[in-house]
Amino acid sequence: MQDHGRDKKDSKIYIVGNKPVKELLLDSPQRVDFVAFRKGRRDKAMEEIFDLCRTAQVPFKSVSAKELDYMYRGNHQGVAARCAALEYTPLERLLEQAPDAPLPLIVALDQVQDTGNVGVLARTVHALGGAGLIVCQHHGAYLGAGAVRSSAGALNKLPVAKVGNMANAMKDCVNYDFTLYCARMTSDSDNVYSAELRTPAVLILGNEEKGIRPGVAKFANHSLHIPFLREFDSLNVAQAGAIIVSEFARRLG
């Protein structure tokens, strides 16, 4: 039985069939974006897949037979798992290896949703020696072939950890003795060019419209802002992230 295919639009990888999907959830659940199953399907094999999804916090949803056929043309047995176009790194491994990077800085993206922004940030972090990225499993940009292209391949070279709960991930970073910085303008935020910058560190960047969620920001030790010399609304997240990452690199150099 053929067990995988690619969506033509963005080279999204689909693993299909009861056994292949079950094995994927057992071996590499961090690679799975979601599992789609045919509406109305309820059987022992499907219940086992549901249980694995719940354990690994992988979203699953029912779709029409037509939608499933659109995802994968072939014998899918009523179930398909969509996978990212890159391998993810476990958060613990990223935190253990980060202090040895040329620039011991991890960039955490709190629900950053624009694929192009993620790609540009990956290029910047990789080029300047950064340790890696942390991205959200839910409500973040889909890191398919489009994101890999916009990163000029950097996403395939840079460690990327995908987490189900960004707040818990930031708590883990604190426990590993990382200094956490939020990129945001607040009443007590520091000018990035005069602030004391320590490494190993995590730079948290927020959603394009809503910014960093309070539950994530509360773990940060400091907030950083970029001073503007002209009246201007804001920079987008990729521009702001690139400026702050480059300042960390300049200090370390």
Are 10 and 68 spatial neighbours (Cβ–Cβ below 8 Å)?
no
Burial class of residue 171, CB neighbours in 10 A (0-12, 13-18, 19+): middle
15-47 residue pLDDT tens: 888 888 998 898 878 778 899 999 988 889 899
Domains and CATH numbers, the chain: 4-83 (3.30.1330.30), 91-252 (3.40.1280.10)
Closest CA to 192 of 247, 130, 111: 247
pLDDT at site 4: 53
Please give the helix or strand (H or E) that residue 145 lies within, else none.
helix 145-150
200-218 residue pLDDT tens: 999 999 988 889 999 999 9
pLDDT at site 43: 87
Are 220 and 195 spatial neighbours (Cβ–Cβ below 8 Å)?
no
Closest CA to 11 of 139, 146, 158: 146
Largest CA distance in the chain: 63
69-125 residue pLDDT tens: 888 778 888 999 988 767 789 999 999 999 999 999 999 999 998 888 899 999 999
